[in-house]
Structures are given as C-alpha cells and as structure tokens.
Chains A and B, each alone.
Chain A
Amino acid sequence: SQQGEEDPQALSIQEGENATMNCSYKTSINNLQWYRQNSGRGLVHLILIRSNEREKHSGRLRVTLDTSKKSSSLLITASRAADTASYFCATDRLKESGGGADGLTFGKGTHLIIQP
C-alpha cells in the first residue's frame, strides 16, 4: 500500500452530522496536510499539522495526529451540502539524509457526500 491511505474510500452522511476520515502512512514525516478537491477542480489546502503536534482546529475542522500509530483523522463537524468533495491527506516525508523533502505524497482520498 502507498504512503497516505485514506479510509473510508467513500462516506455518505446526512447534513448536520459529523464526518470522520482517517489516514495512515508508513514513513516518518515532517508534517501531514489535508486537502479538499471538488469535482474537476484543483486541490485546496485545509489544514497542516506538524509531527510534534497532536491536535489542531480550524473552524469546523479538527485534525489529530498519532505518530506512534502513523495515523491522522479529519473531523468535519455540522456538515453542510457544500462539504461534498474528495478529501486527501498528504505527507511531507522526512528524508533520512535530512536534506529536505521531495514533493508531498497523496493518498487516494475519501469521497464525502453530504445528503440534504
């Protein structure tokens, strides 16, 4: 499996409910980011959490990071129809050489559908 795998692949919930998506990765990281992609569009950055952080909030978003389990979760509270999109986690891998990182590695995403 690849670095940065989201779970579930697809999620359908009712408007107003909370949506939780998970991401697992394999290697040591500098940071982990979550992005959103609306159909046919580019990705939009949502939130970044560094390897020394455990939880971060931004509006209705809450991200957790557990480096011991190499996993992260994204929680969207009080979901809205406009939250319908694909959500990707991306990791900025820590190079063993310490010489910086290559490009972010993305998972396949979770497709979230919010039903009105």
Chain B
Amino acid sequence: NAGVMQNPRHLVRRRGQEARLRCSPMKGHSHVYWYRQLPEEGLKFMVYLQKENIIDESGMPKERFSAEFPKEGPSILRIQQVVRGDSAAYFCASSTRHEKLFFGSGTQLSVL
C-alpha cells in the first residue's frame, strides 16, 4: 500500500510563474490536507479537502492560492504569480477521518 505521494520533490520557479504541487493520498483515504513549513518552523495549516469539496480553507492566502481534489486524480495546490515569500516546503497529508494523518515527503518550492 503506497503512502502519500507528492510530486515534484523539488520545484524551482521564477517570480511571476505558476507552481502546481500534486498529492495522491493513500488508497482509501478521502481526506486531504495541505500544510506549509518554513525553515525551523512548525507546519501551518492551509486547506482541508474531501473529494470535490473544499471543507476548510481558513489557512489559505486570499489571493493567488487555490486547491482542488477532483473526483479522479490527485489533489492539486496551485500558486499563481509566485513571489519569493512563497518559498517553503509544502506537505500534503491524508487520513480516513480527523485523526492520524499520513504525510507525504513534501515539495520544496524555491522561487528565484
């Protein structure tokens, strides 16, 4: 049973470009969470999704950031017009309910 798969592992973008981060949850998991982590910091909650629905996006910046979890395919975190401050590690986690989370290895986004 494969774990939570995130890709790419590393993503480099120039300012103003778009970044797309993908997350395939563990088999059988219908809850997906995205977190952002800055160096030497904890994880900051961004968004919680179930299939085709955004349940809680209280941690998402109001502009440039969006997330989806379509009926088929991975969950996507999309950052438009990236700025240097978006550089961080983005982690996806999945669960069957609001308890034990299984994390992917993260995507390290670097904005030049």
Contacts and interface: CB of A to CB of B under 8 A. Distances in A.
A and B form one complex: yes
Interface of A: 4, 30-31, 33, 35, 40-45, 48, 88, 90, 92, 100-109
B33 A42 contact: no
Contacts of A88: 42-43
Interface string B70-104: 00000000000000000000010100001111111
B70 to A, nearest CB: 20
B96 to A, nearest CB: 13
Contacts of B48: 102-103
Interface string B38-60: 00111111111000000110110
A109 B42 CA distance: 6
B103 A43 contact: yes
A100 B102 contact: no
A110 B105 CA distance: 20
Nearest to B6: A42
B4 interface: yes
Given A88-B42, A103-B33, A106-B42, A45 B59 contact: no
B43 A106 contact: yes
Contacts of B105: 41-42
B98 A101 contact: yes
Contact of B56 (A40, A42, A102): A102
Contacts of A40: 106
Given A103-B59, A105-B45, 14 more contacts: A4-B42, A33-B100, A33-B101, A41-B106, A43-B93, A45-B101, A45-B102, A48-B99, A101-B98, A102-B56, A104-B33, A104-B45, A106-B42, A108-B42
